Every structure is written in structure tokens, then in C-alpha cells.
Structure 1
Amino acid sequence: MRSVLVTGPGETTVVDVDAPTAGPRDVLVRVRACGICGSDHMYTTYGGIPPRQGATPLGHEPAGEVVEVGAEVEGVTVGDHVVINVMATVDGLLGSGGAQGALSEYVVLLDAKPGEQFRVVPPHVPFSVAALNEPMAVARHAVNRLDPAPEHRVAIFGAGPIGLGALLSLKRRGVAHVVVIDIVPNRLEKALALGADAVIDSRTEDVAARLIELHGRSTGIGLRGERSSTEGYIDAAGAPHVIRTVLGVAGKRAVLSVVAVHKAPVEIDLGGLLTTELDIRLSMGYPTEIFEVTDDIIDNWQKYAQIISDEIPFDRVQDALALAATPGQAEKVVVTFGGEND
């Protein structure tokens, strides 16, 4: 089979390798779609994925079709469509330092158990949309870390796939008012189409002033400056100015959930924040959310489909990787393997 490996700093190669086989406790999956994540570009830039050394399999956002089921495996049959918990694969994290990657034509799930390593999804959900399950679980965890009440008002910084996934999860949770902030007009239009109550173009608008206008002013003893009553903030952008903006506008006992990866330290004035009692929570991965979000994707797959900007066949996987790594050129790139009915 063909598989994409990171073969050096800034270098990926499509290689021919032996296809995996399924033992009595395993499930063999033909990959039908795999999303490209920003971390794939990071792994490629570094020339590998710890703890592995040398050529490293890439791809950790898969959906596929079961083609072989071991005799001891229950709850799945050949032909089932599945999404995969890449953090639960027993031979290492799939596509993130493990023995296999999902930018391959097949992956084998060792010691496979439904509800742990994989979940069956209905065939009406396109494989490309089902492949969003992993990044949408990341977004759902950021929302769970925020833990907003239905009456709360939330601001999301960044209308990329994770920010839009957080928007959908917040609305699924019944959160009263969600504002999405970005600098790209078509991203903001997409946010409105997916249910945002308002958007802010931070290139042309004063974010703090608009949040106060939309959510009201926060009051409290010792608060410095004009502050918003926005109860929750999600950083899905990873830019230092996002943190500075939140620290400057957050009101009494607001919560900030940081899911974005910051590549440089961000200075925080704890003394200046003391009277706000701001709660900062970091969000990584999806300890419980990988299949929690699946039901929403099944019920609302047409909405989730709008997150995908480009579907590119595996024969052009290098083009897909280059497109996804180019800032501003694409929102969410998904690599597809054959037609939906092949």
C-alpha cells in the first residue's frame, strides 16, 4: 500500500509499504478520508514525531471502511463505516508518533474494541465529514473545559476548523449568545451560517468595545478599565494579541479556555488581573470527547460539511499537504481515498 512518511525536516514522501493484516482480535480499516491538521505541518517541519526516530507515518484524522474483522472481535462487521480514536491505538498514537499513520491506504486496529478504538457511523455520513470527528473532539474538549451555562455569553477567537467546531458544540449545548472573532471575512460569513449570533472583524473593529456593546459591562470592586460581561472566551487562534485582548477586556470571574497552540511565551500581568479573578484553563486533546461529538456529526453532518474547504484525492496528497501548510490558502483540507461508493 501507499503511505505518507515524514522523511526529514520539511520533507514528506509517499512510499510503498506492506499493507497491515488483521489478527483474531484486530480490525483492518481501509482509509477513505483523512483530514490534514496544523500539527502535521509541525511534525513535517521538525522532521519527525517524538518518540519515533527516522521516517514517521503521518495522518491522524481518519474515517474509513472495515474490510476485515478478527474472529474474536464483536460489534462490527465488514463494510461498516468507522471513525477512529487515534489516542487509543495500542501501537502508539496513530499519525502522531505511533507505528501507523492514517495518510495510508489501510490501518489495522490492534486489540480492537468498539467504543474504545473505533465507532461505527451510519453510511449516510460522507467519509470526508466523518473524518472531522477527531478535530471536532478537540473543539468539544475546549468547550467542556470552558463549561458554560446555557445563559452564558461566549466569545471565540479564530474561525478556523477548531473555532467553528467550538461554535457548533456551544450551540449544541444551548449557550445563549456566541460571538466569533477573526480577520478573514469569508470565515466570519461561515461562522454566521453555522449559527454564530454575531461576528467581529478584528481588522476593522475594536474587539473590546464590540464585546461590551454586545454583552454589556462588567462591574466589580477594583476592576480596571471598561470590561465586558462576557462569561467565556475560547482562544482557537494562538496569536499573542488574542491573549492580550482577553486579559484587557475580561470581566469578573470570566473563564478563558485556550485550545490553540502558542509557539512563543505570552506575558501575563497577574497583579493587574487579580481583581477580575479570571480563570484560565488549558485544553489539549479529548480525554472523553472523541465519540461524544460523533452523535452531533451524525445528526448535523450538513453543517459540519461546511467546515471543509478542500477535498483532494490521495494521488495528490503532496499538493494537499502544501495547501494546508500555506497560511490563508485553505480552511480545512481533507484527503480522500477513492469515490464514496468504490
Structure 2
Amino acid sequence: MITGAGQTEVVDVADPVVGPADVLVKIRACGICGSDALYISMGGLPPRQGRMPLGHEPAGEVVEVGRDVTGINVGDHVVINPIGAPSGIIGNGGATGALAEYLLVENAVRGQSIEVIPTDIPFEVAALNEPMAVARHAVNQTKPTPADKVAVFGAGPIGLGATIAYKALGVNHVTVVDLIGSRLDKALAVGADSVINAGDEDVARRLIALHGKGAAMWPGKSGTDIYLDAAGAPSVVTTALASAQIGARLGVVAVHKEPVPVDFVNIMANEITVVGSMGYPTEIFEVTADLVADWEKYAVIVSHTFDFGDVQGALQTALTPGAADKVVVTFA
């Protein structure tokens, strides 16, 4: 739990009390999100600044079921919807967090707040359900069709999840752009059709070579239909809009900490759509079936696992730029 600006501690709390509509889950794995770094630096979110539970990427095993709950049984392996908690978003300013031995799922309804998964899915992979829902919503926001050619900028967990989602939806060609070779290797492993290393290649020129020349008022545009910013660098927006043909779509799921200048004449003249993406209004369990069906591919995204006994080491690794891709904390 966050106990102050830049401070986290393992704190003993009372075991949750299960009500008739609740389910108690023993957490078996919980991912660490980039947003956790922001929360820690701020000392938490209102109204829980100074004492805020962390963890919003959980997977676990049901150990107690309230008498009024249906469709959930003791022993079930489950993933959880953090935004479905009546006491506030789990691990995002709510009363509970999933970086804990036990998590109470209040008003548990299968398919809304909790979902059962097969017991053969590794918990550290199941813990990807929440960030993969973020990626799936970003993809849905760009309204892909099978004929589209897509460029995903950023091969971190969300970019890789988006790559899997685009291919799962039957998209024709997905190119992933990043600066780190090992991340691009992962992009190919999860199904990208091609990759571009922005550190030593001309991205705009390579996109034209891969996706053909685009129709636009000015020459030098790419035939890319969709650009997805999962990197959060101003250069991504600049490159995408400079390359965008008539009718192209730019989705933004990465967090930009500073304003980014945009040429609106270009957007107007080429009728480019720019759409943002936040969270997962309907996708939290939409992604679960694909995660279950193709879990070996999703497993590539996890770069580090830590036992809860070293949760501080896990946080330090996850929050150190360049030290890890996806860190998951596991519980015995």
C-alpha cells in the first residue's frame, strides 16, 4: 500500500468479511502497471492519499462464496473486473487493492465483476486480463477491418496486446515500431507481420515500403490505414500524422505527460480521425476468451515474475525505465 509520496509498505490488515453477495479470492498473481508509478509518486489518489492499496491486475482462486452468489464455486480460478467494485476501483483509489493475499469481490456477478477461467491457464498469464482489456479497447476504438494495414507504435505490454488483438480480429497486416530490438522480437513472436526499429530505420519510408503509397493531397504518404500510439512519445504523433493518407485513423492509448503540437490543416485536408482510448468500458471479459485460447502467445508479454515476499523489488524493477516489460507478482 502507498503510505506517502514515493513510499510503499506491506501493511497488515484484517481479513475481509464475506457478505451474502460477495466472493473471497486468494490472489495468486497480480501485475504491476505503469500507472502505479504515478500513484506512488503522488502519494496515492484522493480520497486515499497517504494510505492507498495498490494492484489492479489480479488473478486468483475462489476460497469463499456468499450464499446468494451463483455461477461461482470454491476452487474456481478467476479474473476480476477492477472497475466493478462498489467501494471504488480496485487498486486505483478504491478501498481495496489486489497486491494482497486476499481480495473481496463485492456484489460478485459472473460476467460483470468476476469471470471463471480454466485451471490450466498460468496465473501470471491470467493476470494480463486487465491490461489486455485496455489494449482491446484501444483497438476497438480504431474500428479495424480485415482489409486494414496497421502500424502499432510501442512494443510494451499494451502495444503487444494490441498487436494480438488486431490479428485476432483478422486484420490484414500489422507492423510494430519500437526502439528496442528485444521488444520487436516479442512483437514478431506474438504475431506481428513486420517490425521497424525506429532507432536505425526511416519509419515513414519503411511504412510506404510495407503498406504501399497512400492517397493524399501531398506526396510521401503511406497506405497505412490505422496508427496506434502505445508509446506516448511526441515523435509518434508527429510521424503518424505526417505519414497519414486520406481517411487514416490515429488511436492514442499511451499517456502523454506534455501537450503535443498538431497540424490541424493536415487533419482537415486528409480527413484524419484522431481517437483516444481509456480503460475498458466493455472489454474486460471480452478479451478473456482470446487470452484463454491463446495463452502461450500472451505469456510472451510477461518479462519478470517476483514472489510477494519481494514485492518491493518487483515495484522497483517495474518502475525503473527500461528494466522490464511486464512484471507480475505471484503468491504461493
Which TM-score band applies after superposition, normalised by the shorter structure?
Answer: over 0.9
Q: What aligned pairs does 1:245-284 form with structure 2 within 5 A after superposition?
A: 245-284=239-278
Determine if contact 1:259/1:282 at 8 Å carries over to the other structure: yes
- Cα deviation digits, residues 154-191 of structure 1 (max 9, x gap): 00000000000000000100000000000000000111
Q: 1:252: Cα distance to partner?
A: 0.7
2:176 partner letter? V
- 2:285 aligns with 291
Match of 1:128 among 124, 130, 139: 124
Q: Identity, % of aligned pairs?
A: 57
Q: 1:326: Cα distance to partner?
A: 0.7
Kindly indicate whether residue 7 of structure 2 is the aligned counterpart of residue 11 of structure 1.
Answer: yes
1:27 partner letter? V
1:38 partner letter? G
- 1:315 aligns with 309
- 2:107 aligns with 111
| TM-score in terms of structure 2 length | 0.99
2: distance between equivalents of 1:316 and 1:36? 13
- Flag structure 2 segments of 5+ consecutive residues without an equivalent: none
Determine if contact 1:257/1:281 at 8 Å carries over to the other structure: yes
- 1:101 aligns with 97
Q: 1:274: Cα distance to partner?
A: 1.9
Kindly indicate whether residue 224 of structure 2 is the aligned counterpart of residue 230 of structure 1.
Answer: yes
Aligned residue for 2:10, secondary structure, equals strand
- 1:159 aligns with 155
Determine if contact 2:190/2:297 at 8 Å carries over to the other structure: yes
Q: How many residues align?
A: 332
Aligned residue for 2:188, secondary structure, equals helix
- Cα deviation digits, residues 54-100 of structure 1 (max 9, x gap): 30000000001000000111101100000000011111000000000
Aligned residue for 1:151, secondary structure, equals coil
- 1:333 aligns with 327
2: distance between equivalents of 1:110 and 1:324? 29
Match of 2:238 among 230, 244, 248: 244
2:260 partner letter? V
- 2:298 aligns with 304
| TM-score in terms of structure 1 length | 0.96
2: distance between equivalents of 1:178 and 1:51? 42
1:307 partner letter? I
- Flag structure 1 segments of 5+ consecutive residues without an equivalent: none
- Cα deviation digits, residues 6-61 of structure 1 (max 9, x gap): 11111111111111121111100011000000000110011112332330000000
- 1:63 aligns with 59
Aligned-residue Cα RMSD (Å) equals 0.8
- Cα deviation digits, residues 232-283 of structure 1 (max 9, x gap): 0110000111011111111111001100011100011102332111100000
Aligned residue for 1:252, secondary structure, equals coil
